[in-house]
Structure 1
Amino acid sequence: MTEQKYDLHCHSNFSDGALSPTDVVLRAIEHGVTTLALTDHDTVTGLFEAQQVASQHELNLVPGIELSCIWNKKTFHILGLNIDPKNTELLAGTQQLQKIRMERAKKIASKLEKNKIPGAFDAVQEAAGTGMITRPHFANYLINKGHVSTMQEAFDRYLGQGKSAFVNTQWVELEHAIQWIKSAGGVAVLAHPMRYKLTASWMRRFLSAFKEMGGLGIEVITARSNPDEIRRTVHFARQYELYGSVGSDFHTPKNQWVELGRLAPLPTNIKPVWELFNH
């Protein structure tokens, strides 16, 4: 029997990933992944192509999404795993997020123009195609135009919080995001919990609210997790009786540190989130 390898968080070029859904699925297979969730930001559009390819190979594709939301004026990313991508409530929600992203893109482009960097909006819109416009699209534009040499520099100089082209965005409320996921029959999972840099007391407040609203899981293992972060996340998972998830958050083959399927195993004292999926 083939050893099961899960990766429940990755992106295609329908949001801020570099590869098409087809290439993400084929790369996952190449790296021994047996169950993959494609979780593009605020859109399900890439799932149909991914499912088609997965069904031609022995890969179990879990339909997913990563929703941007706000709780107590802080931004969080919530994964919806094992969703029905045709659910009307979820689709209405993604349209709302599409509008928010479009408004943000226009504001970022306008700020870049004030920095004497014109033409960004048309370029990122073309690059995003039918997918969501994200900040990495702007970063790529800045690289292509020679204003910066790396993605990190683009964020450090222009796009990161407090920088000249940063736009504070009012995403949807956490409660709504979880409701859309539940409505689509999915499992709500907190993505990369250690990236929010919350104190332990803030994390406890958040997880209490998350659980109360119907959140069920927490990403215990990511491609960047160090042993201390895993230990802390395991503690929160056990304290709040949350199911554990594993996900690389893969975006591009250019990032050698983040690869599909290259993940530490989920600790055995944590209930795996895939137990909640009804295949």
Structure 2
Amino acid sequence: MHALSNADLHCHSKVSDGTLEPEALAARAKAQGVELWALTDHDEVAGQQRALEAALAQGLPYLTGTEISVTFANKVVHIVGLGFDHTNEALKAGLKATRGGREPRAREMAEGLAKVGIEGAFEGALHYVGNPELISRTHFARWLVDAGHCSDVPEVFRRFLTEGKPGFVPHRWATLRDALRWVHDAGGMTVIAHPARYGFTPTEEYALFIEFQAHGGRGLEVVTGSHTAAEAVKYGDMALEFNFLASRGSDFHSPDESHTELGSLPNLPGKLNPVWLELQHRIHYPGA
């Protein structure tokens, strides 16, 4: 895996808030020219064995993955874990505890929506996921669009699901220290996902990077679906400044919703050290 390899190390299946099964994602990744793939469902590893087997059947090298929600400076930050043992019991227990707050939060969100005349939102959103432990704002958004309350998902978030709106309920996620420990103890590496999305001040962002590094965090997602070219340059420079490894991932969720297709991102700048070079021993290769 050289520095220009088409690695896509961030995407979601139906096991969390994507719309495709892991097997369909593996086939899509292969068809789109992905050379190294990781499925990173939110706070869940239940799709990992399926994704691994499907990738290898496609002749596609695979890294295990997950995306863990943590609370930092009163905001939700996402940490991607890569290359861990997906059968590790402590990791699975930690993720289960993190997911455990989703159903009560979702019921509160539905209550808020009911107060503005939108009834049945919890049951409606649940139809899109099946598992109350994995219910998220994305599932509410899809239901609100399909039920005719909004024209598209961005409108849902603007009107109902962001802070100060009727359906917004904060969730206390894992701590940064705990999330990193779960992944590291399971043999994996951690990466800060899409850093431009959080809206931190420079001081807050610096504090995040320093604390992440202090707890053994190694990587920064530089090239990702929600980053502009300028943001990729900025976080590439920050990866060099902090001696972070650089990661790359589309954050693909759905053929109908995602702006960035699997495997379609620009390459990492050559000056950066890619995470996959440090994870060679954790990559599952076809026929190995």
Choose the corresponding residue for 1:144, options 124, 131, 146.
Answer: 146
Is the counterpart of residue 156 in structure 1 residue 158 in structure 2?
A: yes
Counterpart residue number, 1:216 = 218
User: Secondary structure at the residue paired with 2:134?
Assistant: coil
Counterpart residue number, 1:70 = 71
Displacement over 6 Å in runs of 4+: none
Choose the corresponding residue for 1:176, options 175, 178, 197.
Answer: 178
Deviation at 1:123, TM superposition (A): 2.7
Counterpart residue number, 1:12 = 13
Unaligned runs of 5+ in 1: none
User: Secondary structure at the residue paired with 2:34?
Assistant: coil
Contact kept in structure 2, 1:139 and 1:155, CA below 8 Å: yes
Deviation at 1:74, TM superposition (A): 2.1
User: Secondary structure at the residue paired with 2:220?
Assistant: strand
Unaligned runs of 5+ in 2: 284-288
Counterpart residue number, 1:84 = 85
Contact kept in structure 2, 1:78 and 1:188, CA below 8 Å: yes
Counterpart residue number, 2:113 = 112
Cα distance in 2 for partners of 1:85, 1:21 equals: 15
Cα distance in 2 for partners of 1:75, 1:98 equals: 14
Task: Name whichever of 253-262 and 236-245 sits farther off.
Answer: 253-262
Cα distance in 2 for partners of 1:240, 1:151 equals: 36
- Root-mean-square deviation (CA, aligned residues, Å) is 1.7
Counterpart residue number, 1:45 = 46
Calculate the TM-score normalised by the size of structure 2.
0.93
Deviation at 1:256, TM superposition (A): 5.8
Equivalent residues, number: 279
Of all paired residues, the percent bearing the same amino acid is: 38
Counterpart residue number, 1:259 = 261
Calculate the TM-score normalised by the size of structure 1.
0.95
Cα distance in 2 for partners of 1:212, 1:67 equals: 18
Deviation at 1:103, TM superposition (A): 1.7
